[in-house]
Amino acid sequence: MIEIVGLSKRYGEKPAVDGLTFTVRPGTVTGFLGPNGAGKSTTMRMILGLDHPTGGDVRIDGRHYHELANPLTYIGALLDAKAVHGGRSARNHLLCLAQSNGIPARRVDEVLETVGLTAVARKKAKGFSLGMSQRLGIAGALLGDPRILMFDEPVNGLDPEGIHWIRGLMKSLAAQGRTVFVSSHLMSEMALTADHLVVIGQGRLLADTTMADFIERNSRSYVRIRTPDRERLLDALHAAGIAVVETGEGLLEVDGGSPERIGELAARHRVVLHELSVRQSSLEDAFMRLTAQSVEYHAQPEPAGQPWGAHWNARTAAPAASSGTPPAATPATTPTTTPTEG
Amino acid sequence: MSTPQTPLPQAAPPAWEAGAAPSHPGYTSPIPVVRTHLGHALASEWTKIRSVRSTMWTLGVFVLLVVGIGLLTGVLVADSGSDLSGDENALSLGFFGVLLGSICVITLGVLTTASEYGTGMIRTTATACPARGRILTAKALVFFLVAFTVTLVSTVLVALAQTAMLDGSGARQPTGGEWFKATVGVSLYIALLGLVSLLIGSVLRHSAGGITIMIGVVLAPLVIALFMATRSLEKVRTALFEYSIPNQLGVFYSSSLSDSGPSGWDPLWIMLGVAAAAFAGAWALLEKRDV
């Protein structure tokens, strides 16, 4: 368990992490999400005692990192795959880590086997590809068979097979009752592995919720309509009391609408439709909206108490005839959408 | 061409991983937990220093310089048949090789700490051992012992060869005390000089910068003194000469460039003081700064 309370770090005037409070619990994969520069790595470095916090506190199973006599057996971390002396062989690199924590040397060969680097164990780390370096870093994290594992962007630079392997590894580690804390800037990646989500932007906490809850709140399904007879369809939808949003390029969107009802309505009014499809905005979009808002928060503080994602509720309730430019908060163009998955 | 990617072991996970999954909320490892101490850090640093090629290179060149130049001067002096003037003894010929070789020890010292910053390895090291003072102590001890041992072996070899070569050439037979100073004394001094370099490397966190500064520290006082021809600067000039590292090293061979200034074992105490101060500074900075 990792407990973070009011954690802050500023470099000069600029706050990198600003009053973060959350807890990473055992038995689940907790995704740590945020755009580049949001403060994910800085937070992880403070958890590991590499950076001294400007304020606040981090505890690992109730203790500060520097109080851990043999930290590798409590928490294993992969922060930077390249944090290795290139002139040292993979085996010697792991061996010196093992020795510093009193971990038996046979364990080095075990973890090399686990990550699939046995064949290159005596090769210098300098010649490793990024994928192999990531594996070596993960081997280092697993070395002490720790209760807590922390990975910073572990799938970066991995081939599809490697990504698949990492996902499986993280899930199996959590299933054994370990605490797994993994950062990413890819929502889609987190959706596949994480059970719990912590989202930060500009060093502040934006969301701390379960993955299921996040999906429920943020996956917006809507009906997309393309028609050459826009005005007549708008009138018809209006008359039927269906809220519709124009998203440019002649596209109309009805939030949560039923395609059957809209299709029948169009048929009744003899309006030609070129497209009538159910779409789902991706979690990636939801994440982008969430983090984009954190930028707005900085520029002009909004009234307190407004929950994140409020813009979308506002948009749903927007008057149907809001032709022309949509409200400032909503994107001016069609959000990139993906067809409903599965 | 990169090294070929090894196939993934998608097969059954090893025993430790498959081991009975304990109930939430915790996971208990089968690996025995030991309370770590300085000994663990020493073992780790020993593995580190012996597993990089730069150690072998710098120490190899060091031995080559010390033994090579020592034998060469021995041969030259023996051939010329010239008497070593008055008070000199055969051991003093070892000076030149050790002076040049010291650059290798400086390089290795700086690399021992600074290269970890260059490669990013320091983050892994500090994560594995949060007691940063312990890391520094372990590095310092391991390096000091390696540098001392290698220098001692080299200087003893050279001293034996030189006294044998110059036997009967009129050179004064060195006393036991002179033997001790020219071998153990010099080795302690060189190892301490390397230790100061290691600490400078830890403070600067930059290999090239650390090596440049340390070579400057060795050479600059002599070079600056050479250009201080004015009478008004006479005192400064003498002090620079006397306390320059080459001159202090010469004291161990009783072939000091000047007659006043440090004598006997003074250079060792001076270097010990410098090393202690540098150690305290490096320790404080290491604890204070972010890695």
Q: What is the pLDDT of residues B230-278, one digit of tens each?
A: 888 888 888 898 899 999 999 998 755 556 778 889 999 999 999 999 9
pLDDT at B286 over 70: yes
Which residues of A are less than 8 Å from B28 in CB distance? 147
User: How far is it, in rounded angstroms, from Cα A244 to Cα A318?
Assistant: 9
Interface test with A, best of B52, B113, B124 (most A CBs within 10 A): B124
Q: Which residues contact B72 (CB under 8 A, 6 or more apart)?
A: none
Contact yes or no for A323/A261 (Cβ under 8 A): no
Portion of chain A with pLDDT greater than 90, in percent: 51
The reply to whether B12 touches chain A by the CB within 8 Å rule is: no
Partner-chain contact A68 B130, CB within 8 Å: yes
Peptide bond into B25 cis (omega under 30): yes
pLDDT at A322 over 70: no
Which pLDDT band holds residue B212 (cuts at 50, 70, 90)? Answer: very high
Instruction: Return mean pLDDT, chain B.
Output: 86
The reply to whether A147 touches chain B by the CB within 8 Å rule is: yes
How many other CB atoms sit within 10 Å of the CB of residue A12?
5
Reduced to 3 states (helix: H, G, I; strand: E, B; else coil), residue B98 is helix
pLDDT at B280 over 70: yes
User: How far is it, in rounded angstroms, from Cα A68 to Cα A58?
Assistant: 13
Please tell me the predicted confidence (pLDDT) of residue B23: 39
Which residues of B are less than 8 Å from A79 in CB distance? 123, 127
Partner-chain contact B10 A45, CB within 8 Å: no
pLDDT at A166 over 60: yes
Dihedral, B54, B60, B65, B66 alpha carbons, nearest 10: 120
For residue B7, what are the CA distances in angstroms to A141, A334, B12?
20, 43, 14
pLDDT at B8 over 50: no
pLDDT at A296 over 70: no
Which pLDDT band holds residue A16 (cuts at 50, 70, 90)? Answer: very high
At A197, give phi and psi (nearest 5°).
Answer: -125, 135
Strands A14-24 and A2-11: antiparallel
Please tell me the predicted confidence (pLDDT) of residue B271: 97
Residue of A nearest to B134 (CA): A100
User: Which residue in B27, B20, B117, B109 sits closest to B62, CA to CA?
Assistant: B109
pLDDT at A63 over 50: yes
Token reading at B74: 């021995």
Token reading at B132: 């940063």
User: Which residue in B31, B99, B26 sits closest to B251, CA to CA?
Assistant: B99
Instruction: Return mean pLDDT, chain A.
Output: 84
Please tell me the predicted confidence (pLDDT) of residue A7: 96
User: How far is it, in rounded angstroms, from Cα B19 to Cα B12?
Assistant: 12
Closest partner CB to B129 (pick from A100, A147, A176): A100
Residue A295: exposed, middle, or buried by beta-carbon count in 10 A (0-12, 13-18, 19+)?
exposed
pLDDT at A316 over 70: no
| Beta bridge pairs of residue B211 | none
Q: Which of residues 15-34 of B touch A (CB under 8 A)?
A: 16-17, 21-34
The reply to whether A145 touches chain B by the CB within 8 Å rule is: yes
Contact yes or no for B73/B166 (Cβ under 8 A): no
Contact yes or no for A135/A116 (Cβ under 8 A): yes
Strands A29-33 and A196-201: parallel
Average pLDDT of the residues in A333-340? 41
User: How far is it, in rounded angstroms, from Cα B12 to Cα A29?
Assistant: 22
For residue B273, the distance in angstroms to the closest alpha carbon of chain A comes to 30
Which residues of A are less than 8 Å from B129 in CB distance? 71, 100-101
Please tell me the predicted confidence (pLDDT) of residue A249: 74
Tens of pLDDT, residue by residue over A214-269, are 888 877 788 899 988 888 888 988 888 888 888 877 788 888 778 899 999 999 99
Please tell me the predicted confidence (pLDDT) of residue A17: 94
Please tell me the predicted confidence (pLDDT) of residue B259: 66
Q: Give the DSSP letter of residue B172.
A: B
pLDDT at B15 over 50: no
Which pLDDT band holds residue B78 (cuts at 50, 70, 90)? Answer: confident
Which residues of A are less than 8 Å from B205 in CB distance? none
pLDDT at B19 over 70: no
Strands A245-246 and A251-255: antiparallel
Among all chains, which residue has been given the structure tokens 């305290």? B280
Partner-chain contact B3 A128, CB within 8 Å: yes
